[in-house]
Amino acid sequence: MFSAFKTPPPAAEAVPLAPSAPAQPVTPAQEVPSAPKPAQPVPAAPPAETPQQTVPDQGDLKRRLHELLLEKLNLTMLEKVAKEDLRREIRHISANYMQNEGQIMPRPAFEALIEELLDEVLGLGPLEPLLADPNVNDILVNGVDKVFVERRGQLERVNVRFRDERHLLRIIDKIVSRIGRRIDESQPWVDARLEDGSRVNAIIRPCAIDGPSLSIRKFSKTPLHMERLLEAGALTKPAAQFLEAAVKGRMNALISGGTGSGKTTMLNAMSASIDPRHRMVTIEDAAELQLQQEHVVRLETRPANAEGVGAITQRDLLVNALRMRPDRIMVGEVRGSEAFDMLQAMNTGHDGSMTTIHANTARDAIGRLEQMVTMIGNDFPMQAIRSQIAAGLQLVLQLNRLSDGRRRVMSISEIVGLEGDVIMMQDIFVFKKMGVDADGNVQGRMMATGIRPKCFEALMASGVPLAAEAFNPNAGGL
């Protein structure tokens, strides 16, 4: 029978626990009279064969038990062991060790220690409680004893620490090795992901001067729909209805915003409206998109190996994706010359494709896209690049994270064509900021500009229901 241990555990379990209530000493008045006995000398210390029972230092005990488990566990076979079986065997080892050392511990503390050791063996150690907290969106580790989280848009420091730098490095290596990546002095930073799709970035010495740094962007384990964004106040119902119609009508969209503004969340939510019969290909540096359709092919880039060869870029994957008969292509984020191939795909029958980009405004997003296309180095005339953008893209969404930590759709703009060498855009919905209340919450409302989009007739012709009233400035807002 398979065992997670290199050597079989003891047959009997001995848990050295402290009694729930200390025994009360018998007072002399309660003693039963008996014949006098000769006085016995009181030993100065317990006999040598009886170990001295002590309450252990929790941090030091956890470190020693963890090292012991690493010696005894068959680490390569842990994935085949049921969690309960592993918990039972870890309890065996820990109880026997503490008994041999003459150490005692209350049962609740002992069970908590076992759970922490289980997290160390199977998970990410001290980060596991933060990963399990549904209110935590980001986990930011700035060193062994400086850990911050983002809750509801606000950063706060938490009482979580690693034993030392070696402990933190072991957690980082566990994350990146699971997806076949590496991090060392020759490659001191890496993008990775957890099994649930959460995005990870890690950087170590010599680039990280004060020691290893780890950033984890968590993603919801439940499918994302536009209703969730409506509940959070990210946009209004008329705007959400327009985006749903645009996706169903196969409009190409560019989602723009700063770091942590919710670009990937918006792409995931919009993708829920895609026809399930469509074949989709996603391309990302670290796979994090959560498309809810069945016919999805997920592609992920690969960094160079230790010899500096073997890298596979987003552009490589995009070129290959065009040979895979996709109906739509989703690029997690355009950062370089792959922008040219993305525009080519949008202009050659892959309508309804979407991607994200880092920019502060919708107009800046178009400017950055132009610069990325020039990275291919073929001296394309700017007029030709802008013509490709105007023909391939229909919508630009701008998202921002406001000063109160809330993420909002600031504008939904339509590209209406090219006038001379200028790409013409018009805002369909905009968020108007109206101030800040006493608690620091940004006050404002999203509203239609009153402009009916040029694509309205195309959407209606494709059978997508969309009321003209949705573009009335008085139709409602936040």
Q: Which helix (H) or strand (E) covers residue 147, if one does? A: strand 146-151
Cα separation of 94 and 104, whole Å? 11
Using alpha carbons, list the distances in angstroms from residue 251 to 126, 301, 415.
44, 26, 11
Using alpha carbons, list the distances in angstroms from residue 155 to 131, 158, 198, 285, 334.
16, 10, 18, 26, 28
- Residue from 370, 397, 374 nearest 386 by CA: 370
pLDDT, mean of residues 1-18: 46
DSSP 391-448: HH--EEEEEEE-TTS-EEEEEEEEEEEEETTEEEEEEEEEEEEEEE-TTSPEEEEEEE
Fold of 134-217: Beta-Lactamase (3.30.450)
Note whether 477 and 449 are within 8 A (CB): no
- Checking if the pLDDT of 36 tops 80, the result is no
pLDDT, mean of residues 317-329: 95
pLDDT, mean of residues 297-325: 91
- Checking if the pLDDT of 15 tops 50, the result is no
End-to-end Cα spacing for the chain = 62
In the three-class reduction of DSSP (H, G, I as helix; E, B as strand; rest coil), residue 80 is classed as helix
Cα separation of 330 and 342, whole Å? 9
Two structure tokens written together for 298: 């997920």
Cα separation of 456 and 425, whole Å? 15
| Confidence band, pLDDT 50/70/90 cuts, at residue 186 | confident
Note whether 468 and 455 are within 8 A (CB): no
Cα separation of 405 and 423, whole Å? 32
Phi, psi of 411 (to 5 degrees): -160, 150
What percent of the chain lies above the pLDDT cut of 70?
85
Longest CA pairwise span in the chain (Å): 118
Helix axes 83-101, 107-122, angle to 10 degrees: 120
Two structure tokens written together for 3: 């065992």
Cis peptide before 129 (omega within 30 of 0): no
**Entry pTM:** 0.76
pLDDT, mean of residues 303-309: 83
Cα separation of 156 and 153, whole Å? 10
| Confidence band, pLDDT 50/70/90 cuts, at residue 101 | confident
Compare 354 and 380 and report the one with higher pLDDT: 354
Phi, psi of 196 (to 5 degrees): -85, 0
Architecture of domain 226-471: 3-Layer(aba) Sandwich (3.40)
Return the minimum-mean-pLDDT range out of 241-245, 252-256, 447-451, 474-478.
Answer: 474-478
Q: Which helix (H) or strand (E) covers residue 180, if one does? A: none
Buried-exposed string 372-387: b where 16+ CB fall within 10 A, e elsewhere: bbeeeeeeeeeeebbb
pLDDT, mean of residues 71-78: 68
Show me where the domains of the chain are located: 54-119, 134-217, 226-471
Q: Please tell me the predicted confidence (pLDDT) of residue 196.
A: 83
Cα separation of 315 and 301, whole Å? 9
pLDDT, mean of residues 288-314: 88
| Confidence band, pLDDT 50/70/90 cuts, at residue 78 | low
In the three-class reduction of DSSP (H, G, I as helix; E, B as strand; rest coil), residue 141 is classed as strand
Phi, psi of 293 (to 5 degrees): -85, 165
Note whether 439 and 199 are within 8 A (CB): no
Query: Which single residue is written with the structure tokens 């500009």?
Result: 449
Long-range interactions of 157-166: CB distance < 8 A, separation 24+: 158/130, 160/126, 160/127, 160/129, 160/130, 161/126, 162/125, 162/126, 163/59, 163/62, 163/63, 165/211, 165/212
Note whether 198 and 288 are within 8 A (CB): yes
Return the minimum-mean-pLDDT range out of 49-53, 112-116, 205-209, 344-348.
Answer: 49-53
Q: Please tell me the predicted confidence (pLDDT) of residue 46.
A: 44
What percent of the chain lies above the pLDDT cut of 90?
50
Q: Please tell me the predicted confidence (pLDDT) of residue 345.
A: 93
The pLDDT tens digits of the residues spanning 416-439 come to 999 998 999 999 999 999 999 988
Q: Please tell me the predicted confidence (pLDDT) of residue 304.
A: 85
Q: Are strands 213-217 and 354-358 parallel, antiparallel or unpaired?
A: unpaired
- Residue from 428, 434, 426, 427 nearest 478 by CA: 434
- Checking if the pLDDT of 35 tops 70, the result is no
Cα separation of 96 and 297, whole Å? 50
The pLDDT tens digits of the residues spanning 379-405 come to 788 999 999 999 999 999 999 999 888
